[in-house]
Structure 1
Amino acid sequence: MRRTFIGSSLLLTSTILLLAVTCSFSCAAEPTKFGEYSADDFTYESTCRQCHAVIYGDWEGTMHFNAYLDPFYLEEVKVASHDTDGLVDEFCSRCHTPIGVVSGEIPPVDGSGMSDISKLGVQCDFCHVVSGSDGIGNAPFTVTPGNVKWGPYGDATPSYHETDYLELYTQAEYCGMCHEVIHPVNGLVIDDTYSTWKDSQYGRDNVVCQDCHMTEGITEFKANPGRAGTGGPKRDHISSHEIVGANAFIPEIMGAQDVAQKAIERLQNAATLQVSSPQTAAQGTELTIRASITNSGAGHNIPTGVSEIRQVWLEVKVTDNEGKEIYHAGALDTEGNIGSAKIIYNTVLGDSEGNATESFWLADRVLEDNRIGPEETVNEEHTFILPEDVVYPLKVQTMLNYRSAPQQLIDKLFGHGTYEVPVIRMNEVSGTIYHPDTPPEERTETTSTAPTTPGFGVFITAMVMAMMMYIFKRN
């Protein structure tokens, strides 16, 4: 699958239509402006954790927790600020340090004028004083700091502050405020996580972001019973705030190993891999390995987010019985570059001159979109000639890999050897190829070593059963 674009006019048109349609749910809310409040208007998370210790523990170490402290973000935003003469300072910061923006503490983008609370990223008192939204993309949130905290419950009776129910907290549109990013100058859609979900079967069936990312399940809803706060009523399900995506790289750097492991588990349940290779093959003949990759566990593209730097690829390795390498596509070289992969599943952005760029702030077009859509299957074929001197049996390893960024980009930002970007194995299928004279009873079957995803149908079934159990208990 390879979709190529020559410009951004279609994307700009689709963006305008998207905003026109989706803003209807809350357009009455005027977005909070730069410097409208002071950092003193917000409450530190240390106060929140006194009554919400479990939820605080979920949130701590996640990418929301590290939205500003993320060292990759801090380096990238400096480069972006330099390249655009500060044009993107507020644009980027509005999602990564929202309190810093509405408090007027950014710019400067280096954080020298920021208070401690603004460095807490997407924190408790920011999220729960969001009182409305003006649509989708580029953080059009309205915040109303004060004693009222909004959320998904209308019957909470806390003693420290007041609460109020807001339907927005139960909708994908809450997440879509930041997880849809549109270039502020040319309208290019840089991150289409929300709109991709909206156009998928998940969106049509209203399986929202929170159903996957705020439950105990990974690719299926799993209730998380408990209390939202000390003294609160026990509920059949409270939203888990361990909101984890695919990023295991930054949480590991920041010392949040549990969050990194959750990200790995999510990746290992995102896609299924099927491989077909001949059971027998003679020396000197042409051999073809066919692989199918299905996005069976994500309600958005794989990869998503800043997908111009995310990398998903298939690695195929064939060795003989003495360990001699016969074929190897998708291997990393000594500098960490991906060699001879058939395709890297991500987006390729282009600048105003049509050159590929990993700097989204310089992009005005999409040159290629090779991502795998929800429930979509893509295919690869790997063909080579089997040498005359191979020693049977042959081992075939087919591995679906993911990493958060190219190694050369991280080396460029931080210096060679500072960080090694982990390559995460999303799925793996192993098989054996025998000499044609090998009896059938001596041949083994192809095996998969990664968990299979339950898929969309099982997800819906689990949701329905959970709702039935909930209604039964209530009755």
Structure 2
Amino acid sequence: MRGTIVKGSLLFVTIVLLLSMTGIPAFAAEVTKFGELSSDEFTDADRCGQCHAIIYADWEGTMHFNAYLDPFYLEEVKVASEDTDGLVDEFCSRCHTPIGVTSGEIPPIDGSQMSEIAKHGVQCDFCHVVSGSNGTGNAPFIVTPGDTKWGPFDDSRSAFHGSEYLELYTRSEYCGMCHQVIHPVNGLVIDDTYSTWKESQYGDDNVACQDCHMTEGITEFEANPGRAGSGAPKRDHISSHDIVGGNAFIPPMFGADNVAEMAVERLQRAATVEVKTPEMAASGEEVIIEASITNSGAGHSIPTGVSEIRQIWVEMIVTDSEGNEIYTAGTLDEDGTIEGEKLIYNNVLGNSEGNATESFWLADRVLEDNRIGPKETVTEEHNFTVPDDVAYPLTVKATLNYRSAPQELIDKLMGEDTEVPVIAMNEISATIYDPATPPEERTTESTPGFGILATSMALVIMMYLFRR
């Protein structure tokens, strides 16, 4: 263990020196560092759940709960460690197992030195002993384990521990400690969830992360009356601790189907899609369809997080009245590869040779940024020629899809038996008529949406295939 701590300390010093050379602010001395604490100083989350049962139930099974146990993360960080000779071990783990890092239990990246409490990811007694921060990005938290727990109320009382108010818990800067990630060597911004919020109208209006991700509302604040714990006073709002984003891929692996369902609902509230088509088109005529996507509900760019592997795209299918496909784009082949899409909405990172890479630890530049910013609308164009023997009317169906990672990447890291669910964020259809169709028989309005029931059924089917 002594050798591990020395190696971790040298790694930290190396990163600080590299950051100073590139002009990136390094961690201040007061930030809690590698090996500074012991995991024995933290309280197990099960103990917290005895008094905070509802909050514990919210958190259980979420991506914060599984931040370290996430099998995709474990496989990817293993590759990152090999590619960088261990340089990113502490860097990545600082957010995925903060107790493991501050206790000096990781590295090694295989987790062989980790205590059980460190494997519980982002948990109660880490989050609520954060006593301060040195800004945002790369986890500059100050942690003070002990009897005092910090939170958003200035009048909390507990028989088990002391309680203190800290304004940081009510602000996006708390979330920005981990949801803003900067490459530890070259300064490339890898995850800009916090900064894209900060630069948006949501940041201007001071709509904090907690207002959307810790309330009963999906894309806006909605009060959640209740008690923070047994014997606590009833309040107008208690923060919900599911804190769900868009990940419907990992939670079902741990039996948390409810978390996946919330993620689907959040995705469906994040964006809208519209199509513009001609009302009529004759055989042999070229048809142009415009599909417009608006980030109507997310307070940051979509997709976000490790957005170089997240995928949002439009699936466009045009059929005639007999079900014949006339035009397709953005459909999946049998291997799960997206075919013929106009654009995948994410960002494309490049390595030192200028080649695209999905490995952010090897990246030093952004080749493309095709994400959709808050309240932004983007439009893509599809075109086809109407066949001579077509059976009218034509149906245009546009579906805005999302998945957490390319199927090819998951096949490589986790095996071909693991299927990434594709989530329909939104859907709209329109009709194109034969010019000879009488006006009274035409319906010009497009039809949006598809209903929560259909989506839930689709998710159940996907999860069934996933488990197979």
Residue 469 of structure 1 is matched in structure 2 by none
Name the residue aligned to 1:179: 179
Greater Cα offset, 45-54 or 251-260: 251-260
* Alignment partner of 1:192 is 2:192: yes
In 2, are the aligned partners of 1:219 and 1:266 still within 8 Å (CA)? Answer: yes
1:83 and 2:73 equivalent?
Answer: no
Secondary structure of the residue that 1:226 maps to in structure 2?
coil
1:422 is matched by which residue type in structure 2? P
Determine the structure 1 residue equivalent to 2:170: 170
Query: For the Cα contact (< 8 Å) 1:427–1:451, is it kept in 2?
Result: no
Identical-residue share of aligned pairs (%) = 73
Q: For 2:244 and 2:78, how far apart are their aligned partners in 1?
A: 26
Alignment partner, residue 404 of structure 1: 404
Matched, 1:414 2:428: no
Shift of residue 450, structure 1, vs aligned partner = 4.8
Mapped to 2, the partners of 1:50 and 1:110 lie a distance apart of 31
Structure 1 equivalent of residue 97 of structure 2: 97
CA separation in 1, counterparts of 2:324 and 2:306? 38
Query: In 2, Cα distance between the equivalents of 1:350 and 1:254?
Result: 34
Task: Give the residue type in structure 1 aligned to 2:229.
Answer: G
Could you report, residue by residue, the CA deviation over 1:161-207 in whole angstroms, capped at 9, with x for unpaired residues? Answer: 00000010001000000000000000000000001100000001110
What amino acid is the match of 1:139?
A
Structure 2 counterparts to residues 19-418 of structure 1, below 5 A:
30-416=30-416, 418=417
Give distance in 2, aligned partners of 1:450 and 1:82: 45
Write out per-residue CA displacement over residues 240-295 of structure 1, whole angstroms, 9 at most, x where no aligned residue: 00100011101122211000000000000001111111121111000011111111
Letter in 2 for 1:43: T
Q: How far apart, CA to CA, are the structure 2 residues paired with 1:30 and 1:269?
A: 40
Deviation at 1:441, TM superposition (A): 1.7
Name the amino acid aligned to 1:244: V
Cα offset for 1:332?
Answer: 0.6
- Give 1:468's aligned residue: none
Give the structure 2 partner of residue 467 of structure 1: none
Tell me the secondary structure at the aligned position of residue 381 of structure 1. strand
Separation in 1, partners of 2:388, 2:30? 72
1:441 equivalent to 2:440? Answer: yes
Structure 1 residue aligned with 2:13:
none
How far apart in 2 are the matches of 1:195 and 1:84?
A: 27
**In 2, Cα distance between equivalents of 1:293 and 1:451:** 18
Q: Distance in 2 between matches of 1:224 and 1:101?
A: 34
Indicate if the aligned counterparts of 1:269 and 1:451 stay in contact, CA closer than 8 A. no
Q: Deviations over 1:65-103 (max 9, x none)?
A: 000000000000000000000000000000000000000
Amino acid at match of 1:365: R
Q: Which amino acid aligns with 1:367?
A: L
Q: CA deviation at 1:16?
A: 6.3
User: 1:429 aligns to what?
Assistant: 428
Structure 2 CA distance for aligned equivalents of residues 16 and 368 of structure 1: 24
CA contact (8 A) 1:137 1:177 kept: yes
What CA distance in whole angstroms lies between the structure 1 residues aligned with 2:42 and 2:450? 44
Cα distance between partner residues in 2 of 1:159 and 1:311? 47
Aligned partner of residue 273 in structure 2, secondary structure: strand
Equivalent position SS for 1:306: coil
CA distance in 2, matches of 1:107, 1:37: 15
Query: Do 1:69 and 1:120's aligned partners in 2 also have CA atoms closer than 8 Å?
Result: yes
Structure 1 residue ranges, 4+ long, deviating more than 2 angstroms after superposition: none
Q: Deviations over 1:356-401 (max 9, x none)?
A: 0000000000000000000111011101111111111111100100
How far 1:116 moved relative to its partner? 0.3
Output the CA distance in 1 between the equivalents of 2:253 and 2:33.
Answer: 33
Secondary structure of the residue that 2:250 maps to in structure 1? helix
**TM-score, length-normalised on structure 1?**
0.89
Please report the RMSD computed on the Cα atoms of aligned residues, expressed in angstroms: 1.7
Which amino acid counterpart does residue 153 of structure 2 have in structure 1?
Answer: Y
Q: Number of paired residues?
A: 432
How many Å apart are 1:451 and its aligned residue?
A: 7.1
Q: Deviations over 1:320-346 (max 9, x none)?
A: 111111000101111111111100000
- Comparing 404-413 with 436-445, greater Cα deviation is found at 436-445
Match of 2:8 in 1: none
* Aligned amino acid, residue 301 of structure 1: S
Cα distance between partner residues in 1 of 2:30 and 2:342: 47
**1:383 maps to amino acid:** N
* Comparing 277-286 and 63-72, the one that deviates more: 277-286
Partners of 1:371 and 1:315 in 2: CA distance: 17
1:345 is paired with a residue of what secondary structure? coil
Secondary structure, aligned partner of 1:40: helix
Q: Is the 8 A contact 1:268 1:451 kept in 2?
A: no
Counterpart code for 2:78: K
| Greater Cα offset, 199-208 or 248-257 | 248-257
Amino acid at match of 1:198: K
- Between the aligned partners of 1:16 and 1:282, the Cα distance in structure 2 is 61
Q: Which runs of 5+ in 1 are unaligned?
A: 1-11, 453-475
The DSSP-based 3-state class of the residue aligned with 1:364 is: strand
Residues 277-286 or 68-77, more deviating: 277-286
